[in-house]
Structure 1
């Protein structure tokens, strides 16, 4: 089956922008902005889907960040939970259509120091509205369609220096991950599936760099790789978060024929580009 038309939602966001750059050279991409399509108006989304009839939907839209979700719980529910259900129902009615959805490792909840890795089949224990609504979005997809891929992502960065100096949300599972790496890996995988080089079982996959890092450790690594002592001196003395439990990416490596790099190697590659 050749995918002829791809719909990318959330193209103005960090991940969506990176996906668009990877998709445009190889696919016909629809990437409506918020003026062309209001994602909070689910009836408008349904109408748009019926009119455009995409074969592949990549959903990089959503309300991110713990603070924003706590301040706007209804918006969080609409974008993180209800929108994925609408997309899944569209795909369910079309045998040749498929959905790629991006979730987060926050659904695992507070890291358990007794466990070394978080696996996709571990029981979820989401803390807060953000993680709860993201998990509900996953569940809506699983219960409403069969042709889907859900990627659980760790903290993403495009500008490593800026990311290193920004205090993250308190839940840390896994390691900081380059948004460019995620986008290129996902698009390359989709192209291989389209060419029937790769056959992937629908399901949930962790897609993060290997290892684990708290905020200070990531900050220090950026400083050392830039060989910038002044940047290192800006590091606050108090810890913001503790080291989190690592996320297993074995399932993604096995199913997508990947070798996922460590967060340090990924960071070095990102800074060199």
Structure 2
């Protein structure tokens, strides 16, 4: 299997490049080789490589900045994703793409399923939904994997931000009225690999038979405040600068982009289709922090 992988410097892409080495030949293209902000370059690169599978882990992920850069966010998350799907169709490749809980408005009282109607409330969510729709409209064999609250020990994410602030501030205030499931970037990569391990020789046919949207998040739920507390419980007791972790409301922490109050995604479809599930978020977080993965 020849796999073309984008977004290799990002949290998920970095993990995928390593995890997928046991699945097939991974050809990792960096931004200077295939810039999603310049979609015209996409067709020539994919035509030259002729992969069996394209995994797109690249995205515009600056949620607040997207409010002031809607055209660029749409170009990368929407237009370019559609171009990748079209290029994949031309060479007979399948496609795996990562999306987000932000395609929903967060007003539902329970976890969102793949059948729930998207209704994004910010530019980032709208552009990610546009990417999903572009893939589906092309008709290429695809898996769209929606995840949420992604973190790891590299890149920009909530875990690293909290650890950094604990060294710099005596007090940290964190929103406590938004809920979701923190999901480790390496687990996303490993679940992706486990899906592909189930493929027979022809990955295109395999994905064609499984094509659809799947939710892929850790089990359980928490708030940003409780997530921060789980990260920093030892920091508060240590000699680090942090002394107080305070819970606040969304209204007390205004941002350029609105966030969904409920980011929970139900994973039953993933489990039923592929026999895979992710452990509880707390167990994964403890593994990451304890072993410094």
Distance 1:6 1:171 in 2: 40
Query: Of 49, 52, 57, which aligns to 1:55?
Result: 52
Q: Is the partner of 1:237 in helix, strand or coil? A: strand
State the 1:227 CA deviation: 7.2
Provide the residue aligned with 1:259 in structure 2. 277
Structure 2 gaps, min length 5: 166-172, 251-259
Q: Do structure 1's residue 74 and structure 2's residue 74 form an aligned pair? A: no
Paired residue for 1:13, among 1, 10, 27?
10
Query: TM-score, normalised to structure 2's length?
Result: 0.81
Tell me which moved more, 53-62 or 192-201. Answer: 192-201
Matched, 1:110 2:112: no
Q: Is the 8 A contact 2:23 2:196 kept in 1?
A: no
> Residues 169 and 80 from structure 1, CA distance in 2 versus in 1: closer, same or farther, beyond 3 angstroms?
farther
Please state how far the C-alpha of 1:269 moved relative to its aligned partner.
Answer: 2.2
Match of 2:223 in 1: 214
Q: After the TM superposition, which residues 44-193 of structure 1 pair with which residues of structure 2 at under 5 Å, given as runs?
A: 44-95=41-92, 97-112=93-108, 115-159=109-153, 161-164=159-162, 172=178, 174-193=180-199
Is the 2:175–2:224 Cα contact (8 Å) retained in structure 1? Answer: no
Q: Deviations over 1:60-119 (max 9, x none)?
A: 111003212112211101110011111111222344x1000000011011233xx31111
**2:37 aligned residue (23, 27, 40):** 40
Deviation of residue 258 (structure 1)? 1.3
Contact residue 57 and residue 99 of structure 1 kept, 8 A: yes
Structure 1 residue 190, shift from structure 2 partner: 1.0
1:22-74 residue CA offsets vs partner (Å, 9 max, x unmatched): 12344211112222222211111111111111111000111003212112211
Distance 1:130 1:170 in 2: 22
Report the TM-score, using the length of structure 1 for normalisation. Answer: 0.87
Aligned residues: 266
Residues in 1 aligned to 2:177 and 2:139: alpha-carbon distance in whole angstroms: 30
Q: Deviations over 1:202-244 (max 9, x none)?
A: 10011001122211100111234x4752469544424254963
Q: Is the 8 A contact 1:253 1:260 kept in 2?
A: no
Closer/same/farther in 2, CA of residues 216 and 60 from structure 1, 3 Å limit: same
- Give the stretch that moved more between structures: 43-52 or 26-35: 26-35
The Cα offsets for residues 158-195 of structure 1, whole Å up to 9 and x where unpaired, read as: 13741545789999552111101111111121122246
Specify whether residues 175 and 249 from structure 1 end up closer, same or farther in structure 2 by C-alpha distance, changes over 3 A only: same
Q: Give the match's secondary structure for 2:222.
A: coil
- CA 1:122–1:11 in structure 2 vs 1: closer, same or farther (change >3 Å)? same
Matched position secondary structure for 1:125: coil
Higher RCO (CA 8 Å, separation ≥ 6 residues): 2
Question: C-alpha separation between the residues in 1 aligned to 2:43 and 2:24?
Answer: 22
Which consecutive residues of structure 1, in runs of 5 or more, have no partner in the other structure?
Answer: none
SS where residue 36 of structure 1 aligns?
Answer: coil
1:24 aligned onto 2:18: no
Residue 7 of structure 1 deviates from its aligned partner by 0.5
